[in-house]
Amino acid sequence: MAGKVLNIKVCSPPKLRSGLIGNYHAICHYSYNLPLAIIKKNSMKYIQILILLFISCKKDKPNEFNLEVKVNGDYKGYLYLNYDNIKDSSLVTNGKAFFKGSVSYPISASYSTNYISANEKNFYLENEEIETEITISKKKIKEYNIYWITINRITGTKTSILVKDFEDFKQKFSSDKDWQKELYEKLQKIITQNPNHRYSGDLLSEISNDTILSKEQIGQLYNKLNIKSQDPFSIKSIKFKAFPEYKIKVNDSIYDFVLPNKEDDLISTKDFRGQILFIDFWAAWCKPCRAQFPELTIINNDFEEKGVKILGVSIDEKKDDWLKAMGTEKPKWENVIDTEGFAGNLANKYGIFAIPYNILVDEKGKVIANDISLEKLRKVLDSITSGRKTIANTVYN
Which DSSP string do the residues of 56-117 spell out, in sequence order?
HHSPPPPSSEEEEEEEESS--SEEEEEETTEEEEEE-BTTEEEEEE--SS-EEEEEE-SSSE
Kindly give the pairing relationship between strand 96-101 and strand 65-72.
antiparallel
pLDDT band at 339 (very low <50, low <70, confident <90, very high): very high
pLDDT band at 248 (very low <50, low <70, confident <90, very high): confident
Predicted confidence (pLDDT) per residue in 287-338, tens digit: 899 999 999 999 999 999 999 999 999 999 999 999 999 999 999 999 999 9
Q: Could you give the CA distance from residue 310 to residue 254 in angstroms, rounded to a whole number?
A: 15
Q: Is the pLDDT of residue 136 over 70?
A: yes
pLDDT score, position 180: 94
User: What CATH number should be reported for the domain whose range is 258-393?
Assistant: 3.40.30.10
Q: Could you give the CA distance from residue 275 to residue 261 in angstroms, rounded to a whole number?
A: 20
| Sheet strand arrangement including 367-370 | 334-337, 308-314, 276-282, 357-361, 367-370
Q: Is the pLDDT of residue 391 over 60?
A: no
Q: Is the pLDDT of residue 271 over 60?
A: yes
pLDDT score, position 352: 85
pLDDT score, position 303: 94
Predicted confidence (pLDDT) per residue in 10-39, tens digit: 443 333 322 223 333 333 334 445 455 554
Q: Could you give the CA distance from residue 120 to residue 135 in angstroms, rounded to a whole number?
A: 10
Q: Could you give the CA distance from residue 342 to residue 316 in angstroms, rounded to a whole number?
A: 9
3-state secondary structure of 327: helix
Q: Could you give the CA distance from residue 278 to residue 269 in angstroms, rounded to a whole number?
A: 10
- Contacts of 370-373 with C-beta under 8 Å, sequence gap 24+, read 370/248, 370/250, 372/396
- Whether 313 and 334 have beta carbons less than 8 Å apart is answered as no
pLDDT score, position 42: 58
* Burial class for 5, CB neighbours closer than 10 Å (0-12, 13-18, 19+): middle
Q: At what angle do helices 179-193 and 215-222 cross, to 10 degrees?
A: 10
Percentage with pLDDT > 70 across the chain: 81
Q: Could you give the CA distance from residue 88 to residue 85 in angstroms, rounded to a whole number?
A: 10
Predicted confidence (pLDDT) per residue in 85-104, tens digit: 899 999 999 999 999 999 99
Q: Could you give the CA distance from residue 142 to residue 61 in angstroms, rounded to a whole number?
A: 46
Ranges of beta strands (E only) in the chain are 5-12, 27-35, 65-72, 78-83, 86-91, 96-101, 107-112, 117-119, 123-125, 129-141, 144-155, 258-260, 266-268, 276-282, 308-314, 334-337, 357-361, 367-370
pTM: 0.58
What is the third-level CATH fold of 65-156?
Immunoglobulin-like (2.60.40)
- Burial code (b: 16+ CB inside 10 Å, e: under 16) for 308-320 equals bbbbbbbbbbeee
Contacts of 143 (CB under 8 A, 6+ apart): none
- The least confident of 4-13, 219-228, 251-260, 290-299 is 4-13
Comparing 47 with 308, the larger pLDDT belongs to: 308
pLDDT score, position 49: 58
User: Average pLDDT in the 54-80 region?
Assistant: 81
Q: How many CB atoms are closer than 10 A to CB 37? A: 11
